Amino acid sequence: MTTINPCGAELPGTLGEAMPFLCRGAVVTLQSTLGGSVIAIAIALVVGLMATSRLRSVRGVARAYMEFFRGTSVLVQLFWLFYAMPILTGYQLDKVGAGILALGLNLGAYGSEVVRGAVQAVPPGQREAAVALNFTPYQRMRYVILPQAFVAMVPPMNNLLIELLKTTSLLSVITVTDLAYQGRLLVNSGSDQLVVFALMLVIYFLFSYLITLLMRYVEGRAARVVGRERPRRRRSAPAVEGAR
Amino acid sequence: MTTETQPGHDSRAESERQWMIRFDKVVKRFGDVTVLRELDFHVKPGERVTLIGPSGSGKTTILRLLMTLERVTSGTIEVDGRYLSHTRRGDRLVPADEKHLRQVRKKVGMVFQQFNLFPNMNVLRNITEAPVRALGVPRDQAEAKARELLELVELADKADKHPSRLSGGQQQRVAIARALAMEPEVLLLDEVTSALDPELVSGVQNLLRDIAQQGNLTLLCVTHEMRFARDISDRVLMFDQGQIVEEGDPEQIFTEPEHQRTREFLQAVLDA
Amino acid sequence: MIWDWDWTLEILPDLLTQGLLVTVQATLGGAVLAFVLGLFLALLRRSRRAYISRPVGAVTEFIRSTPLLVQLFVVYYVLPDFGVSMTALTTGIIGLGVHYACYTAEVYRAGIDGVPKGQWEAAVALNLPRHWTWLSVVLPQAVRRSLPALGNYLVAIFKESPQLSVITVVDVMGLARELGSERFRYLEPVTIAGLFFLLIAIPASILIRRMERRLDH
Ligand SMILES: Nc1ncnc2c1ncn2[C@@H]1O[C@H](COP(=O)(O)OP(=O)(O)OP(=O)(O)O)[C@@H](O)[C@H]1O
Ligand SMILES: [Mg+2]
């Protein structure tokens, strides 16, 4: 029995025609998702924690960031970063770089809200106990608050990462050769539309599912850390405000 | 502060050691609610004091001020001769920074009504984490100490358990061990048995009784359990509306209170 | 001066009339479709017949898990093959509406679940017919609970509407792209488009947060 390469050109009919290209695109989609996630999570942590600061000015900066990037469309931000910023600053990002940055900046703003909410949802008694035990402010955050907040962050983060995956498709508009780009190219060059679009959607769906599996695992681990038996099952629809 | 003694000054005289805790005209407001009105009181080192009074009279607020969880609106608090949340700059008192707060917090420990154990750590880590992180004690040393304390609170077999697996009484005993692990000079107890099921109360109370009798801890205890208060304290302060209405040794307060307000309060507690 | 003010003033009126009109049409059209279709999906999803609720659940989940852009392609390229021909704007409205209906369905579902059990029991006690229980007792309360979240989705649809420019709809973003490509200079039109979205979306979200707080009381 021979194993079948799902990306091989020897598959029958439209499959053989489309899959090699779609696979190449899927890799770019995955890379963009990964890159965007890293930036988004980093921003979410920093800005989200800033939003819980006692200092008004720090909170203000965080709020401004969040409102700004949640207030405009990713597509506009993407265009601006790629086409407009170079004129203003003379600095040209390559298209994948601009794409990943736009994803990270945008989803990072939504993630900040998640982090802020989760941190503030940790019961105040926990912080007070940590003060009474003479932890430094950093230690309170690092060893007491964040580990507990983390559990609450995972489910909404799961939704955001799926949003991020879906949003990578917009990178095709600035000609990043991702899954959406390759699919559209195939259709324009005469492949069977129905098959190509179905394949694209299925691949996106599988990636979403992969993210959910991964995050369920993370959630299970995190829940065990704070001593919950098993994570409560929850709906996967975004509970985040204005989930884009 | 114009008195000749200058508490909080670096070269403090031996006589100032006579107060472990000293409230001087302490005012605390939340918005326009005044909770403490120019409160003055002193506690000697090793003294065990119980605060009683009706709900909302400001007992918790006093403990939270001492734990630096709240800041005074005006007036000063000293612990062991040092200002709690002020530092002296020239002639003026200015709010202290985090570094100063961490110095004075070393002397004070607190046990909460709701235990507040950390759910992301097992029992042992709950006890060792603060000595290791905040005091820099080597971990093995901290663990040895923690096991001793667990022995004391009769939970030696629960070291590796998760806090949520313990009963309320056991959780509170862990919380007591956790506070003691920091070797405080002052221990604050805020209604530590009121969140417990009735049958678990006596275990925790007996433990605290032992601790009160053994060490030379200064205890500040808020409780509605009059018998417990009588057992562990040298002195009882009766609060109402942010001021002390009456104070005295437990026998006197509980058997022949002088003030009408105290009588009413004690009657109400007994009826409950 | 890097910023071309003359050109800005030249393109601004077009963006704010022609472009705005299309953006508003797309947003409102998409939202109405999403709000109505979403309610039906929520009811189907709650059906006690598994052969209805399961597939509906699976399809909405699938649509939520895949990109709007690709779904727009499907409607735009595939429907004409089946003899359905529509303007790009109509196509876009359908794409937006269906996509977000799968989100609002979840909102309604939570709203319905949030109606206290006592309300159902009271309706039974009053011997209200079942469909009437839904219409006069449950749904009004559920929809009221759902309003803030629906408001958020209205803003979300507004912010996602620029994607329609990819299927040649000339909304604010489509027009900005067109203008930009004429001179191959995107700075001014895209910046104006961005500011335009900011100026509407931020006050809108603040308004919704207010509404949310009001409804909480
Ligand atoms: N963070 C706060 N913000 C506003 N008001 C507060 C705050 N903390 C306490 N108060 C008010 O201060 C008053 C005293 O509260 P405190 O908790 O010290 O009373 P208590 O004597 O401990 O009462 P109890 O016996 O019910 O525990 C109360 O009227 C309370 O409402
Ligand atoms: Mg209290």
Q: What are the pLDDT digits (tens) for B107-143?
A: 999 999 999 999 999 999 999 999 999 999 999 999 9
Q: Are B25 and B101 within one domain? A: yes
Say how many C-beta atoms besides its own lie within 10 A of residue A136's C-beta: 14
Q: Are B66 and B193 within one domain? A: yes
What ligand 1 atom has the least distance to the C-alpha of B239? 21
The CA distance from A95 to B50, in Å, is: 70
Whole-number pLDDT of residue B13? 47
User: Bridge partners of B244?
Assistant: B239
Residue where a domain terminates, one of B183, B215, B240: B183
B264, part of any domain = yes
Say how many C-beta atoms besides its own lie within 10 A of residue A160's C-beta: 26
Q: Are B163 and B201 within one domain? A: no
Most ligand 1 atoms within 8 A of CB, residue of B57, B63, B223 to mutate: B57
Query: Could you tell me the pLDDT band of residue B16, with boundaries at 50, 70 and 90?
Result: low
Q: Would you say A109 and A68 are in contact if contact means Cβ atoms under 8 Å apart? A: yes
B81, part of any domain = yes
User: So what's the ipTM on this one?
Assistant: 0.91
- A13 or B70, which is more confident? B70
Alpha helices in C74-186 (DSSP H): 88-113, 117-125, 130-132, 139-160, 172-183
Residue where a domain terminates, one of B154, B183, B212: B183
Which residues of chain A does C70 touch, with a Cβ-Cβ cutoff of 8 Å?
169, 180, 183, 197, 200-201, 204
Whole-number pLDDT of residue B6? 46
Q: Smallest Cα–Cα separation from B244: which of B40, B17, B30, B33?
A: B40
- Residue C14: burial class (beta carbons within 10 Å; 0-12, 13-18, 19+): middle
**Amino acid (1-letter code) at residue C179:** L
The CA distance from A179 to A204, in Å, is: 9
**Looking at the predicted structure, is the pLDDT value of residue C12 above 50?**
yes
**Which of A81-90, A194-203, B221-230, C178-187 is predicted most confidently?**
A194-203
Counting the structural domains of chain B, the total is 2
Q: Are B171 and B145 within one domain? A: yes
DSSP state of A235: -
| Mean pLDDT across chain B | 88
Q: Are B15 and B139 within one domain? A: no
Domain that holds residue B76: 2-107+184-271
Q: Do A71 and C198 touch (CB under 8 A)?
A: yes
Interface residue B139 vs chain A (CB under 8 A):
no
- C-beta B118 within 6 A of ligand 1: no
Whole-number pLDDT of residue A173? 93
Which residues of chain A does C179 touch, with a Cβ-Cβ cutoff of 8 Å?
none
B125, part of any domain = yes
The CA distance from B202 to C168, in Å, is: 77
Whole-number pLDDT of residue A224? 82
The CA distance from A39 to A45, in Å, is: 10
Whole-number pLDDT of residue C217? 64
Q: Do C156 and A70 touch (CB under 8 A)?
A: no
Query: Could you tell me the pLDDT band of residue B95, with boundaries at 50, 70 and 90?
Result: confident
Residue where a domain terminates, one of B131, B149, B183: B183
* Domains of chain A, first to last: 13-241 (1.10.3720.10)
B172, part of any domain = yes
Query: Could you tell me the pLDDT band of residue B169, with boundaries at 50, 70 and 90?
Result: very high
**Looking at the predicted structure, is the pLDDT value of residue B64 above 80?**
yes
Q: Do A241 and C64 touch (CB under 8 A)?
A: no
Return the SS3 of A175. Answer: coil
B150, part of any domain = yes
Q: Are B168 and B256 within one domain? A: no
**Amino acid (1-letter code) at residue B122:** N
Q: Give the CATH number for residue B17.
A: 3.40.50.300
Task: Please work out, in degrees rounded to the nearest 5, the angle formed at the alpha carbon of residue A24 by the alpha carbons of A21 and A28.
Answer: 135
Q: Are B47 and B169 within one domain? A: no
List chains touching B (3+ CB pairs under 8 A): A
The shortest C-alpha distance from A75 to chain C (Å) reads 7
Q: What are the pLDDT digits (tens) for C105-140?
A: 999 999 999 988 888 888 888 888 888 888 888 999
Interface residue A136 vs chain B (CB under 8 A):
yes
**Looking at the predicted structure, is the pLDDT value of residue B15 above 60?**
no
Q: Would you say A148 and A2 are in contact if contact means Cβ atoms under 8 Å apart? A: no
Q: Are B31 and B125 within one domain? A: no
B230, part of any domain = yes
The shortest C-alpha distance from A77 to chain C (Å) reads 7
Q: Are B236 and B145 within one domain? A: no
User: Bridge partners of B190?
Assistant: B222
Which residues of chain C does A71 touch, with a Cβ-Cβ cutoff of 8 Å?
159, 197-198, 201-202, 205
The CA distance from B30 to B227, in Å, is: 32
Phi-psi region of B191 (alpha: psi -120 to 50; beta: other; left: phi over 0): left
Interface residue B97 vs chain A (CB under 8 A):
no
* Domains of chain C, first to last: 5-216 (1.10.3720.10)
pLDDT (tens place) for every residue of chain A, 244 residues total: 567 788 877 778 777 888 989 999 999 999 999 999 999 999 999 999 999 998 999 999 999 999 999 988 899 999 999 988 888 888 888 999 999 999 999 999 999 999 999 999 999 999 999 999 999 999 999 999 999 999 999 999 999 999 999 999 999 999 999 999 999 999 999 888 999 999 999 999 999 999 999 999 999 888 887 876 544 444 444 434 334 4
Q: Are B174 and B191 within one domain? A: no
Interface residue A225 vs chain B (CB under 8 A):
yes
pTM confidence score? 0.86
Phi-psi region of B68 (alpha: psi -120 to 50; beta: other; left: phi over 0): left
Q: Are B161 and B203 within one domain? A: no
Percent of chain C past pLDDT 90, that is, above it, reads 60
Q: Are B77 and B200 within one domain? A: yes
**Looking at the predicted structure, is the pLDDT value of residue B14 above 80?**
no
Which residues of chain A does B135 touch, with a Cβ-Cβ cutoff of 8 Å?
134
B112, part of any domain = no
Whole-number pLDDT of residue C44? 94
The CA distance from A151 to A142, in Å, is: 14
Token look-up 């003694």 returns B5
B215, part of any domain = yes
Q: Do B114 and A226 touch (CB under 8 A)?
A: no
